[in-house]
Structure 1
Amino acid sequence: MKAFHSPDSLLHAPATYFRRGKAIAHLEQPARYDLLLAAARHAGHDIDLASAFGVEPILRVHSGRYLNFLKAAWDRRAEIEPGLEHILPSHFKRPEMQHYPTHIIGQVGFHMADLSTPIHAQTYQAVMASADVALSAARHAASHGHAYGLCRPPGHHASVESAGGFCFVNNTAVAAAYLGDTLKCRVGVIDIDVHHGNGTQHVFYDRDDVVTVSIHADPSNFMPYYAGYGDETGQHRGLGYNLNLPLPHGSGDEVYLAAIEHALEFCQRLGVEALVVALGLDASEEDPNGALAVTTQGFREAGKRLGGTCWPTALVQEGGYLSEILGENLRAVLDGFDSARGL
């Protein structure tokens, strides 16, 4: 399988974040990129650098003012406080508040959903590179049937105008929009990350050109808390085109794989002709998040099921954090996918 990456992914290097009110070492570390790239290379996949696509494909998903904010935020940090090492919100926009502030400190709270997604000096470059990786994978999948994008930072928690959950630009949504535009077909997104893909759901919630399915740990006591429930099925033209499959905490291979089969059947029933897999590996039994218990063999079987369709498919890296088996889990998914396609 062709695997795309960008060394600029290393430019974003957050040190800490707040989890349940406590500052801890950040899970989304540059070492993830090194480990996953080494695993793909060691498995014999065809490694290639991503192409530059510019902002136009990203504007199919995100607003112009949001991208302008991400680009300018670091250069405006002195307006918040001289000498800042990172940018985080001190106030948050609430649903009843609708005005857009002109000062950067207000824009930070408008566009950033939590305290886990700090902006640093080169965050914007890393974010754009991550989107380029997703777009490169989508373009190759459209013409050659399949590709993997080693995206970092991840993206599936980013909504149209908001960063959060380690995510800035929604790489999965950008890839899905690109595939749909290129192939002129309905695209499916199947998110197998341990966390609900709330950003992707938000992007496509009132649309019927992209079918969104998320398989994740029960969010009632797990991030993102406020979305990811079974009664969220879309609205307006998108009604019936969103499916959430929350799993009991501690679920293993059998439950996880049954959910993937359900997701594939749902996409097939709604006329999907191309697929983006939001490839979170944090459902692993050894992931630091600890919510699900999928084994390496379970990931291999997941790859087989996802590769068992005839749809052009882009696998876009989402979560999956440092553990002794993170690289093995990526190899397992890609090997399972390739075996299903006779590669």
Structure 2
Amino acid sequence: MRRFFSPNQLAHAPLQELHNGGFTAYAESPARGEAMATALGGLEEPDDRGDAAIRAVHGADYLDFLQTAPAKWAAAGRPGDVMGYVWPVVGRRPLTLNRIDALVGQYSFDASTPLTADTYQSAYWSTQSALAALAAVQGGDRAAFALCRPPGHHAGADYLGGYCYLNSAAITAQAARDGGAGRVAILDIDYHHGNGTQDIFYDRGDVFYASLHADPATDYPFYWGHADERGDGDGLAANLNLPLPQGTTMAGFRVAQTTALDAIASFAPDLLVVSFGADTWEGDPISHLKLATADYAVLAADIAARGWPTVILMEGGYAVDALGNNVISFLSGF
């Protein structure tokens, strides 16, 4: 299987995040990417396909914010990385704002996702890795993998959060549609619900989104990912959330994944995008499911058995020492 990654994806390195009421070292560190790249080996650097596919998903104002916010932050005399502290949770609407504090709140939803001067370029090359994997599958490969770092599934069309800035899964799905795929499905098997991906396609019937994740009643992102969120308008019934209780083991996870795969089969996609998170592993420091390393190969084999052309994108996973083996196990199932 071809695997794609750019060293440019390592430049994004915030110092800290606000987590559970206190500042702590940034969990989505470059060490994650380095560990996976070293373990996998044989990674191809993606070509630069430009930003047209990115702009097909993310708004121009938001992209401008990602690229200019660090300079505005510094110009305002602020130390450290760009981080918000006020958010428009009621009456959110387009406004012409200039102060950097207001802009951060307008284009984000949490304080765990700082911006640095290198963030946009790293996120940009993360999407280029995803687009390279898509091109490989469009060229005839059964499956291809992109080591997307930073991850993407929490980023909406015009907001960042959850360590995510550009939504590689949504960008890949939209690029596939624009490239001629009639129907695309996204299977999200990260510990956390991909609220950004859901939001982007929530009222569309041409992209099916299915997610297995920790129950948002107990886990981030809390406000999205509940079972009654089924889509709106043309997207009604094209959104499937399967929340899982903390402590879920392979048996329960595999049953839920089979439910998701059966629903995707009824949708009959031309292409499958898998948002894979290894933060479902039993030793992950910020998550609470109980999958073992060997389980990933079984779950992947279940997906591969369905026979859909598949683009696999890396999302979360924060047990750095175990990440490489967990990703290798998953890819072996294909």
Cα offsets for 1:36-68 (capped at 9, x unmatched): 112212xxxx42101112211011211111111
Report the equivalent of 2:295.
Answer: 298
After superposing the two structures, state which structure 1 stretch, 195-204 or 302-311, moved more.
302-311
Q: Within 2, Cα distance between the matches of 1:156 and 1:176?
A: 12
Matching residue's letter, 1:123: T
State the SS of the aligned residue for 1:49.
coil
Report the equivalent of 1:322.
Answer: 319
Say yes or no: does 1:147 pair with 2:144.
Answer: yes
Post-superposition offset of 1:114: 0.7
The normalised TM-score by structure 2 is 0.96
Report the equivalent of 1:340.
Answer: none
* Alignment equivalent of 2:80, drawn from 76, 85, 99: 85
Is the contact made by 1:187 and 1:211 (CA closer than 8 Å) also made in structure 2?
yes
Is the contact made by 1:286 and 1:323 (CA closer than 8 Å) also made in structure 2?
no
State the SS of the aligned residue for 1:293.
coil
* Alignment equivalent of 1:256, drawn from 230, 253, 275: 253
Report the equivalent of 2:24.
Answer: 24
State the SS of the aligned residue for 1:316.
strand
Post-superposition offset of 1:149: 0.2
State the SS of the aligned residue for 2:280.
coil
Structure 2: tracts of 5 or more residues without a match: none
Q: Within 2, Cα distance between the matches of 1:83 and 1:25?
A: 19
State the SS of the aligned residue for 1:57.
helix
Say yes or no: does 1:224 pair with 2:202.
Answer: no
Q: Within 1, Cα distance between the matches of 2:250 and 2:320?
A: 18
State the SS of the aligned residue for 2:269.
coil
After superposing the two structures, state which structure 1 stretch, 161-170 or 137-146, moved more.
137-146
* Alignment equivalent of 1:101, drawn from 85, 96, 101: 96
Report the equivalent of 1:112.
Answer: 108
Say yes or no: does 1:52 pair with 2:48.
Answer: yes
Report the equivalent of 2:332.
Answer: 335
Once superposed, which parts of structure 1, at least 4 consecutive aligned residues long, lie more than 4 Å away?
none
Matching residue's letter, 1:312: P
Report the equivalent of 2:40.
Answer: 40
Is the contact made by 2:210 and 2:239 (CA closer than 8 Å) also made in structure 1?
yes
Is the contact made by 1:146 and 1:312 (CA closer than 8 Å) also made in structure 2?
yes
State the SS of the aligned residue for 1:282.
helix
Identity %: 37
Cα offsets for 1:219-269 (capped at 9, x unmatched): 111100001111000000000000000011100111111111111110110
Post-superposition offset of 1:99: 4.0
Report the equivalent of 2:7.
Answer: 7
Post-superposition offset of 1:83: 4.7
Is the contact made by 1:139 and 1:179 (CA closer than 8 Å) also made in structure 2?
no
* Alignment equivalent of 2:195, drawn from 173, 193, 198: 198
Q: Within 2, Cα distance between the matches of 1:116 and 1:238?
A: 30
State the SS of the aligned residue for 1:243.
strand
Matching residue's letter, 1:222: D
Q: Within 1, Cα distance between the matches of 2:79 and 2:121?
A: 19
Q: Within 2, Cα distance between the matches of 1:180 and 1:251?
A: 34
Q: Within 2, Cα distance between the matches of 1:184 and 1:213?
A: 18
Matching residue's letter, 1:122: D
Cα offsets for 1:164-186 (capped at 9, x unmatched): 00000001111111122223220
Q: Within 1, Cα distance between the matches of 2:43 and 2:179?
A: 23
Post-superposition offset of 1:327: 1.2
Q: Within 2, Cα distance between the matches of 1:111 and 1:193?
A: 23
After superposing the two structures, state which structure 1 stretch, 267-276 or 194-203, moved more.
267-276
Q: Within 1, Cα distance between the matches of 2:85 and 2:187?
A: 34
Is the contact made by 1:27 and 1:322 (CA closer than 8 Å) also made in structure 2?
no
Report the equivalent of 2:207.
Answer: 210
Q: Within 2, Cα distance between the matches of 1:33 and 1:97?
A: 35
Q: Within 2, Cα distance between the matches of 1:233 and 1:318?
A: 23
Is the contact made by 1:287 and 1:321 (CA closer than 8 Å) also made in structure 2?
yes
Matching residue's letter, 1:53: R
**5 Å matches for 1:271-310?**
271-310=268-307
State the SS of the aligned residue for 1:245.
strand
Cα offsets for 1:58-103 (capped at 9, x unmatched): 1121111111111111122234x31522111122122314242321
State the SS of the aligned residue for 1:285.
coil
Q: CA RMSD in A?
A: 1.2
Is the contact made by 1:100 and 1:107 (CA closer than 8 Å) also made in structure 2?
no
* Alignment equivalent of 1:165, drawn from 162, 165, 175: 162
Say yes or no: does 1:75 pair with 2:71.
Answer: yes
After superposing the two structures, state which structure 1 stretch, 70-79 or 146-155, moved more.
70-79
Matching residue's letter, 2:87: F
Matching residue's letter, 2:272: L
Is the contact made by 2:279 and 2:319 (CA closer than 8 Å) also made in structure 1?
no
